[in-house]
Amino acid sequence: MKENTKTTFASVFEEDVYKGLTSFPKYLLSKYFYDKKGDKLFQEIMNLPEYYLTNCEYDILDKNTREIAHKFNSTNGFDLIELGAGDGKKTKLLLKQLINDNVDFTYLPIDISQNALDDLEASLHEEIPGLLVKTQQGTYIKTLEKLADYNSRKKVILVLGSNIGNLLHEDAISFLKQIQSAMGPEDMLFMGFDQKKNPQTILDAYNDPTGVTAAFNKNILHRINTELKGDFDVDSFLHWETYDPETGTAKSFLVSKIPQVVKIKSLDLKINFDAWETIHTEISQKYDDAIVRWLAKEANLQVTSSFTDEKEYYKNYIFRN
């Protein structure tokens, strides 16, 4: 068959891989890092000393739990909706505070992974008895739409981990707009944004000496090998990180160390790599107050308060309509 002409695909993953690897320059989408092994590698990343994001956000929530819990509360109680709940380690700080304060609220964690939700629910029942939990499996936006008219009482939407950083500004604005349209006048959005800082600190966070981040980046090639019958020689690709301190954009690449041809059977595709040709796999955007305020304005939201850590590496902002 002729290359670059396939039009029917068995899955969105197939289609996205085909599009990305037949484009110039080549790219793959970072959402495909997260299969079972990718989830595990990301857990490991969060425990790396270089990956400061998790600890900073934990500190912010730990030092300001009372104040944040107070801001969330309302006379008729509220629903706490978390997009991308993961293992809930940071959220548990808030949940415990709210339970201790006898606040009337329900926790609604949303995640793509039913597995992650089941684990989270089990640990919550054990660690925080009395907490009302309603897990929702699905994509952020679909579930948010469902929840927009779920309940008449106040909604607080939580997006932790600087997950928004995977989106280009334009896409981040659409994401914020979608959240905004699900928010009423009383509702709040509490979101984490990793901040601009010494460029070396950022590079180190995405280029750990133990190679966990490299393995995480390369996991996308393993997925193509196992799920789409690919024959990537994963070791012939180099994990490469860049950071542009002007735009605040960290970028991850896989770089082919040799000229090579990769076959992907399920896609009926042969891909040529020149030596040192790249596959762009992820952006991890860094922010400052001005960028966050601009994003908010574009999405018809306002920043009403913010919290940061001692080094000001990371910030959590509260947005309202």
- Site residues (CB under 6 A) for ligand AVJ? 45, 53, 161-163, 165-166, 206, 213, 216, 282, 284
259 and 165 Cβ atoms separated by less than 8 Å? no
When the beta carbons of 206 and 243 are compared against ligand AVJ, the nearer one is 206
Q: Tell the smallest beta-carbon distance from residue 165 to ligand AVJ (Å).
A: 5
144 with 150: CB under 8 angstroms? no
CB of 231: closest distance to ligand AVJ in angstroms?
25
Which residue, 42 or 105, has its beta carbon nearer to ligand AVJ? 42
CB of 34 to ligand AVJ, least distance (A): 9
**Rounded least distance, CB 282 to ligand AVJ, Å:** 6
Q: What residues form DSSP beta bridges with 152?
A: none
Smaller CB separation from ligand AVJ, 129 or 209: 209
Alpha-carbon dihedral angle through residues 192, 193, 199, 203, given to the nearest 10 degrees: 60
CB-nearer residue toward ligand AVJ: 59 or 282: 282
Q: CA nearest 147: which of 106, 182, 176, 119?
A: 182
Q: Which residue is nearest to ligand AVJ (CB)?
A: 284
Q: How far is the CB of 320 from ligand AVJ (least distance, A)?
A: 24
* Cα separations in angstroms, 79 against 59, 121, 139, 174, 318: 24, 16, 18, 23, 16
Residue 78 Rama label (left phi>0; alpha psi -120 to 50; beta): beta
Residue closer to ligand AVJ by CB (options 105, 175) is 175
- Give the separation between CA 267 and CA 299, rounded to whole angstroms: 38
Q: Between residues 45 and 124, which has the closer beta carbon with respect to ligand AVJ? A: 45
CB of 80 to ligand AVJ, least distance (A): 21
Nearest approach in angstroms of CB 195 to ligand AVJ is 12
Nearer to ligand AVJ by C-beta: 53 or 303? 53
State the Cα torsion 288-68-93-314 to the nearest 10°: 10
Asked whether 165 and 248 are in contact (CB, 8 A), the reply is no
**DSSP codes of every residue in 83-119:** ES-TT-HHHHHHHHHHHHTT--EEEEEEES-HHHHHH
